[in-house]
Structures are given as structure tokens and as C-alpha cells.
Amino acid sequence: MLQSLTIRDFVLVHRQTLEFSAGFTALTGETGAGKSILLDALELVLGGRADPDAVRQAAERAEVTAEFTLTDASRAWLESNELTTEEDECLLRRVVESTGKSRAFINGRSVTVTQLRALGELLLDIHGQHAHQGLLRGAVQRDLLDTFGGHGELCRGVQSAWQEWQAAEQALTHAAQKQLDMARERAALEETRDLLAPLDLTPGRWETLQAEHSRLSHRAELLQGLEHTLELLAEGDQAVQHQIAQACLELDGLRVHDNALETAFQLLENAQIQVEEARDEVQHHLRGMDLDDQRLSQIEEEMQLWHGLARRLRVHPEELISLRSHTLSALTALESQDSLTHLAARRDQGWHLYEAAAQALTVVRQRAARHLGEQVTITMAELALAQGRFEVTLKPLEKPAITGLEYVEFQVSAHSSQPLAPLAKVASGGELSRLSLALQTQLAGASEVPTLIFDEVDSGIGGAVAERVGQLLASLGHHHQVLCVTHLAQVATCAQQQWRVTKCETGGLITSAVEVLDTDQRIEEIARMLGGVTVTETVRQHAREMLQDKF
């Protein structure tokens, strides 16, 4: 609930701190005293529009701070927005500069106005002012209907079924997309495999082709060079083989006289053997040389195929072998996942479970809607809206939602001559406030918003109707913290506490202040509300009796 409100330099208020109590509190005062300033301050701190005119004359900034006791819903909101506090209270603060710039804070941390407004809707509801009334929102109306009808378990079942259905739907969509992607990948891999099929891609094949092409394309040069090499090695007296043989003979005769020449002789003898082996190798190579031009053409044709495919597949020719290996491995890994049928069955089952749960919720919502409409209409008659009518309509949604199959809308007609219209389109502040009171009376145990504020609830009424309004507000005070701005004594006397707003001039500046009234002060204020400017003892006694009748 609202524990305290501190106002500084806001409109006509210089400095004011108010401590709130549970139950029903009436806010009274003469016309023009500034009763609406308190509500304006609350609207501002709960995320309302900031106006530079809200800054008191001669002040630099206005500041409003509200302290609330946390509810489960507000505590959960703070946790989800990482604004938690170890205390059971939270502080909402709004600062408005004279330039019009504003700042918002929750528990001392800077937040957006949107966040301030979202939290405020969980803490306090102002009835009678279109600017800040959660009751006008469709989601709030749906939740109130479900709470009124006790549909909590069914709502959770629908939510769970919807989540299961959506999870199955997403799994099916993901699997279908994955299979489509796999089909595309498989087609690309198969195309690569088929392109590579004509090639001999055995390991080392490209290197072999390169070597054979180099040999065949340089065969004339090789033939000439090998023949000349053979000539140098073994043909004629000047050949290497002959010269080494002569040197061996020379050293063989000399080594008998000088043992130191033995090593040189052995080396020359080995050299002679190696030269002979080299000669034999060259001769063998010459005899085996392939001088077929057709083979060279075949090699060049195969290499051109390698180069062409390498360009097409954007790799180097030597990488085609590893590409073929990767392609075959990838094709093997792409096993068909024939799970779409199973997933589709799961999706269909999820839909049927959701549909059954949602239809069951629709049935009980229809029953609760009729009952709520009847009860609110009866209460409207007690609040000078005897020819009015209230209905809760259920309109099918275009698409199923986590909240069910229908949109809940509160509709009202303030007079039999007027058609039903959405609650949000009701123009009269007084009628809207009384309609809100009628609703809140029926939903006393349903609404989770702890603090309710009513403005203009007694507009255009009096007598017994006004007293009935006061009784309903007092009844609401058993379940909620209720604050009502009123100018009727019949309403004020039903309150457990009464505050009075006064206006005075200090230092040339007009200011408003709020004071909590004790019993004697309440009698005087009620008497003023009954008798006007001149309060007689008779009026004062009447006021005393009215209060005694209530408490």
C-alpha cells in the first residue's frame, strides 16, 4: 500500500509529507483549495506527463516521492527489471525541472518513465481520471474477469498448453527448414561429386601428371642431353670412364712404393665403378624413353580437365583430391532425418490440448461475464445510474493467444437511451468514477492493486446515493487502501480517516497544505461541508451525529 508521499515545490505545495493509513481515507476541502494537486502529484510520480507548470512559482524544480509496501506482483516486477531491494518497501521519485525536463527513479536508480508507469500500475489505481487508469486496459479487464470467476487454474492450464503447442510448432518449423537446408547442401555436394567423378583422383595423381608432362614436353632436350652425357662418360679416349681407368693404372703402379697413395687409389677405383653404373643407368633410360606424341596429348588433356574443374570449384588443382574426400564424407554424414511426421503429430496434439483447455476457459468466462455484468448493473442502480447497464463481452481473437481464444472488453451504457460502449469511451469523469466504484465493489477480493484512489466519484449525486457511495468505499477499504476526493459529507463520514486541504498566502505566494483531522476537527469539517460558510451549532450537532452513526 501507499505509505507516504513527499511533495516539494509542486504547483501550490511548498513542502509536504503525508503518512497514509490502511482503510478508507477521505480528502476534503473548500473548492479551489487544491484537492486535485494531491492526485496530480501521484499521477506524476507514477509516470504521468511532466509539465513545467507543475514547478511551484520561484522554484527551480518540483519533486514528488512515494513510498509503497511491496506486493508479490510488484516485487516480481522489480526482480525482472533488476531493481530489487532488500526492504519490503520501494521508493518512486520524479523530478521535474522548470525547463520541463524530468527524471524518474525507482529505489534510487534512474529508470525510464515507461518503467515507472509499469510499476505504478501494479501499486495504485486512480479512478475517475482517464490519464492513469489500468481498468481501461483490455489485459486488466481480462485478468479481473478471470480473478472474479476464479479461473486461475484454467488460465495456467491454457498458458501451459499454449507454450507446449508453440514449442512443437517451432520444432516442426525448425526441422522442416533444416531438412530444406540439408536437401540444398546434399544437392550441392552431389553436383561436386559428379563433377569430380571423371577424374582419376588417386593420391599423388596430380604430381605424377605434372612430372610426366614435364618429361614428355622436354623429351628432345632430354634425348640430346642424355646422349651427350653418355658420350662424355664412356665414348672415346677423352671419356671420363677411360680417364679414370688410366688414373687407376697409374696409381696402382705407384702405391707399391708409397702406401700413402692407397686411399687415393681406392677412391679412384670406387669412382670408376660409379661412373660405369651411371653410364649403364643413362643407357637404360635412353632405351626406355617414350617418344609417343599421343601420350603427351593425353596428359595435357587430363591436366586441362583438372585445371577447368579447379577453377569452377574455386580450388587449386592439387586440392581436388581432398575436396572429393570431403564431399564423400559430407554426403555420408547427411543422413535423412525423417522426423517431420513425428513432429507434425506432436504439433497437432499440442493444438488439440490447447484448444480443449481454451474452450473450457471460454465457457467459464462466459458464465462469469454474465454474472459480473448483472452484479455491476445492480450496483450501478445504487449509484444514481439506475438506467445504466454493464456487460462483459467476449470477442474472438484473430489468432489464438497464450491468454485464450477471446478478447475481454468491459462495455457500459450510462442510460437506457445510450448503446453499450467500451468502458474507455465513457466521457463523464463522475460516471466513470462511479462505474469504477461499482466494479471495484464486485472485484474487491479480485484486484491485486493494493491502493485505489477515487476522484469525482460523488459528482452529480447527493442524499441516499451519496451515503451509499460512502458505504461502498468503506467496504472496499476492508480489502484495499482507499483514498477518495469528495465534497459530500455523506461520503466523508464513512471514511476511517479524513484529511483537509487548505490554501493560504505566505510571503506573497499562495500555497496548499494537507492536514490530518482529529475527531473535533472532523466534526467542524463535516459541519462546514453540510452548512457552508456559516456553521451553526445545529449543523455541528448533525455532523457529530453522522460521525457517531458510523463509528
DSSP labels, 211-277: HHHHHHHTHHHHHHHHHHHHHHHHSSTTSHHHHHHHHHHHHHHHTTT-GGGHHHHHHHHHHHHHHHH
Q: Is 180 helix (H, G, I), strand (E, B) or coil?
A: helix
Longest dimension (CA), the chain: 166
**Total residues found in the chain within this entry:** 551
Give the DSSP letter of residue 27: E
State how far the Cα of 522 lies from the Cα of 518, in Å rounded to an integer. 6
- Residue 16's H or E segment, with its range, is strand 13-19
Could you tell me whether strands 509-516 and 497-506 are parallel, antiparallel, or unpaired per DSSP bridges? antiparallel
pTM value surpassing 0.75: no
Question: What is the per-residue pLDDT for 131?
Answer: 40
Give me the pLDDT at residue 293, please.
66
SS3 (DSSP) at 449 = coil
State residue 447's pLDDT score.
Answer: 67
Which stretches of the chain score pLDDT less than 50? 131-132, 338, 427
Judge whether 254 and 219 are in contact, CB under 8 Å: no
Among 53, 150, 42, 43, which residue's Cα sits nearest to residue 368?
150
Q: What is the model's pLDDT at position 132?
A: 42
The Cα-based distances of 454 to 434, 481, 493 in angstroms read: 9, 11, 16
In three-state secondary structure terms, 452 is strand
| Per-residue pLDDT, 110 | 92
* Rounded distance between C-alpha atoms, residue 481 and residue 69, angstroms: 11
First-residue to last-residue Cα distance in the chain? 24
